[in-house]
């Protein structure tokens, strides 16, 4: 009998599979398809201080082995998430959930985390620092070690729950940002967020996505994500949640060997709503094939 359990900042998960924020709504939408309690946990839809309509349409462009999306953090705002979304989720999910938080200023991040801190069902915060810093010229927080540090410190000051900082891959040296987050008190890091990409429509000769560019995700980015997880495992001592193009149980094992304690599944959920469930079901077979008795034992095993 294989052991799929892992521990993420003191909270035990039945398995390391976590549907990624933005690909799983607030969970109850998928609960209509299957019992989502089979998941390790999931990261809910990116939540901001105020409600956001999101970016203009079209927001999606198809690519070879992936897709580009520019949804723009469409969400009802933290107050409605607390009042409406989380009570709905509680009816169908009995495990701690990961709260994904976004913001456009350091104050935004702190406010949203503070608002959600007293929610019993939230086990961890996943803080997305790939947002443009509106007070800093629009450059994403995640592209500056100093800004990453500021956000981490501000969030840690208002919550007693574990804080994972979600890093942008659109940087020269991912380890510099990871180290800054660790030094500022982050409990862990999540990586990678989407790469920046675009498509052009040959008929109209214009960009397909209204925003011109968007986040490129899917199987094509897996080797980049794996490389960055591997690099960060060598650079920091805090746990890593690995993600980026994960679509099979084999990918999960590979991510864990690179250094991930848990693994998020993103774009695959948009292609096949049962993707995360099927990966969980296939994990024991893959573990037996590669003579792995416990997933905890292989974390960072490739180093």
Cis amide bond preceding 122, omega within 30: no
- For this structure, is 63 an active site residue? no
Q: How far apart are CA 93 and CA 108, in angstroms?
A: 28
292 class by beta-carbon count within 10 Å (0-12 exposed, 13-18 middle, 19+ buried):
buried
Question: Please, which residues have CB within 8 angstroms of residue 202's CB and are 6 or more apart in sequence?
Answer: none
Beta-carbon-side half-sphere exposure of residue 61 (alpha carbons within 13 Å): 20
Taking CA 48 as the corner, what is the angle to CA 144 and CA 19, rounded to the nearest 5 degrees? 85
Instruction: Point out the catalytic residue in the list 113, 131, 181, 232.
Output: 131
Which of 85, 67, 69, 72 is CA-nearest to residue 25? 85
Q: What is the largest CA-CA distance in the chain?
A: 57
Positions marked active-site: 131
């Amino acid at each position: 009998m294989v052991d799929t359990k892992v521990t993420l900042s003191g909270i035990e998960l039945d398995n390391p599979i976590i549907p990624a924020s933005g690909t799983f709504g607030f969970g109850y939408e998928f609960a209509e398809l299957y019992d989502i309690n089979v998941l390790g946990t999931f990261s809910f839809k990116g939540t901001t201080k105020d409600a956001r309509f999101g970016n203009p349409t079209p927001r999606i462009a198809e690519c070879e082995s992936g897709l580009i999306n520019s949804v723009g953090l469409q969400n009802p705002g933290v107050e409605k998430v607390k009042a409406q979304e989380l009570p709905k989720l509680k009816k169908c999910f009995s495990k701690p959930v990961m709260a994904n938080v976004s913001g456009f200023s350091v104050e935004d991040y702190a406010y949203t985390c503070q608002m959600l801190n007293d929610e019993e069902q939230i086990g961890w915060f996943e803080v997305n620092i790939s947002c443009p810093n509106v007070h800093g010229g629009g450059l994403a927080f995640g592209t500056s070690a100093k800004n990453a540090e500021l956000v981490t410190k501000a969030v840690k000051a208002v919550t007693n729950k574990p804080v994972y900082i979600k890093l942008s891959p659109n940087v020269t040296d991912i380890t510099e940002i990871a180290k800054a987050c660790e030094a500022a008190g982050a409990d862990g890091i999540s990586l990678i967020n989407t790469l920046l990409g675009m498509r052009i429509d040959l008929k109209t000769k214009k960009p397909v996505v209204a925003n011109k560019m968007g986040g490129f995700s899917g199987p094509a980015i897996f080797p980049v994500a794996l490389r960055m997880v591997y690099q960060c495992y060598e650079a920091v001592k805090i746990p890593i949640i690995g993600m980026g193009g994960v679509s099979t149980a084999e990918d999960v094992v590979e991510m864990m060997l690179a250094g991930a304690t848990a693994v998020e599944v993103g774009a695959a959920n948009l292609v096949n709503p049962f993707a995360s469930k099927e990966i969980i079901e296939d994990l024991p077979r893959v573990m037996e094939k590669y003579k792995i008795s416990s997933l905890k034992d292989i974390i960072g095993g490739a180093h």
